[in-house]
Amino acid sequence: MREPRGSENPAAENPGAETPAAETPLHLVVLAGGQSTRARRSDTTAPKQFRDAGRGMLFLHAIRELIQAPGVRLVVVVVPEPWRPTAERGLAGADLGVPWTLATAGAHRTASAWSALRALAHMPEDARPREHDLVAIHDAARPFASRHLLARLARVASRRQAAIPAVPVADTIVQIAPGETGSLEERPVASYLAREELAAVQTPQVARWADLHAAHAWAAAEGRSFTDDGGLLAVRGVPPVVVMGEAGNWKITTEQDWQRAADQLRRRSEV
């Protein structure tokens, strides 16, 4: 397969990432386009995904792990335009062993995912996804998702069109009555939700190429934004099925989260 346009790493063989004949081809999208305002010490601090966390920038940790899942053919990393040179240097030096390319982040998450899908659609013919190929979309802010989770999601999505990881909710969840502000202070409870029917959704989320591309094309045309790709697919008549997620697949949001993740990743790199 030819190297995708925009990549700087040479095409390399990686036996651990080769696709067995029985595996559905899997294209990995990593969203690293956020401004990370809640996990930055100041305006001069790099967004969390581009800060060093031991063995390179944070966004590389998820990629190194997830490309080891069966079937991964290509990685698309979505980054803000000002951080493109930084991301290119990091990827070129990571020696991933699978082709990669970059896409430009959009104004929100859904727009960023659409940017990645458009990049995939414009790949050379031998690298472009086919109708029943799978696409996994993952948030760089979740560096601890495992290759095993991605493999399970891909197996289910190949049969059921789309699959998302989720974990049971430990807390009691209430729905708050509408208010004029986003604050929870002294807002009345509208209802208590049945905890056994709730789950906290994670990434990566996996769907068939044709379904995902069509859903995002619709969202782009309608100017719609969704908090995740599973929600968009559900609105378009392709409700995903749930696969048990991983307790360790938590999301970095605040500066305290960043410090915890960096410590955990550095300990791993020292083993």
Does 6 reside within a domain? no
pLDDT band at 184 (very low <50, low <70, confident <90, very high): confident
Does 171 reside within a domain? yes
More confident of the two residues 238 and 10: 238
Find where tokens 């791993």 sit.
268
Q: What is the DSSP pairing of strand 189-192 with strand 174-176? A: antiparallel
Q: Are the C-beta atoms of 120 and 129 separated by less than 8 Å?
A: yes
Question: Nearest Cα to 135, choosing from 166, 106, 114, 107?
Answer: 114
- Specify the pLDDT at position 103: 98
- Specify the pLDDT at position 35: 66
pLDDT band at 1 (very low <50, low <70, confident <90, very high): very low
Q: Are the C-beta atoms of 231 and 162 separated by less than 8 Å?
A: no
Q: What is the pTM of this model?
A: 0.87
Does 5 reside within a domain? no
Q: Are the C-beta atoms of 202 and 152 separated by less than 8 Å?
A: no
Domain containing 136 equals 15-270
Look at 88-102, 118-132, 173-187 and tell me which has the smallest mean pLDDT: 173-187
Q: Concatenated DSSP letters for 68-132?
A: TSTTEEEEEEEE-GGGHHHHHHHHHHH--SS-EEEEE--SSHHHHHHHHHHHHHTS-TTTSPPTT
Is residue 56 over pLDDT 90?
no
Q: Which two tokens stand for residue 198?
A: 């709730």
Does 195 reside within a domain? yes
What total number of domains does the chain contain?
1
Does 214 reside within a domain? yes
Find where tokens 């690298």 sit.
127
Q: What is the mean pLDDT of residues 141-152?
A: 97
- Per-residue pLDDT tens for 148-169? 999 999 999 999 999 999 999 9
Does 3 reside within a domain? no
Distance (Å, rounded) from C-alpha 59 to C-alpha 62? 6
- Per-residue pLDDT tens for 219-260? 999 999 999 999 999 999 999 999 999 999 999 999 999 999
Q: What is the mean pLDDT of residues 128-139?
A: 97
- Specify the pLDDT at position 220: 98
- Per-residue pLDDT tens for 189-217? 999 999 999 999 999 999 999 999 999 99
More confident of the two residues 122 and 48: 122
Q: What is the CATH number of the domain that holds 31?
A: 3.90.550.10
pLDDT band at 271 (very low <50, low <70, confident <90, very high): low
Question: CA triplet 69, 89, 115: central angle to 5 degrees?
Answer: 65
- Per-residue pLDDT tens for 76-122? 999 999 999 999 999 999 999 999 999 999 999 999 999 999 999 99
Does 10 reside within a domain? no
Does 215 reside within a domain? yes
